[in-house]
Amino acid sequence: MPNVKSAKKRVKVAAKKNLRNRVVKSGVRTAVKKFDAAVAADPANAAAVLNATTSAIDKAAAKGVMHKNAANRKKARLAKRLNKATA
All structural domains of the chain, each given as residue ranges with its CATH number in brackets, are: 5-86 (1.20.58.110)
pLDDT of amino acid 87: 83
If DSSP codes are grouped into helix, strand and coil, which group holds residue 65? coil
- What integer pLDDT is reported at residue 23 of this predicted model? 97
Helix (H) or strand (E) holding 51: helix 46-62
Q: Is the pTM of this model over 0.95?
A: no
- CB 71 within 8 Å of CB 60: yes
Series of mean pLDDT values for 10-residue runs along the chain (87 residues): 95 97 97 96 92 97 97 97 92
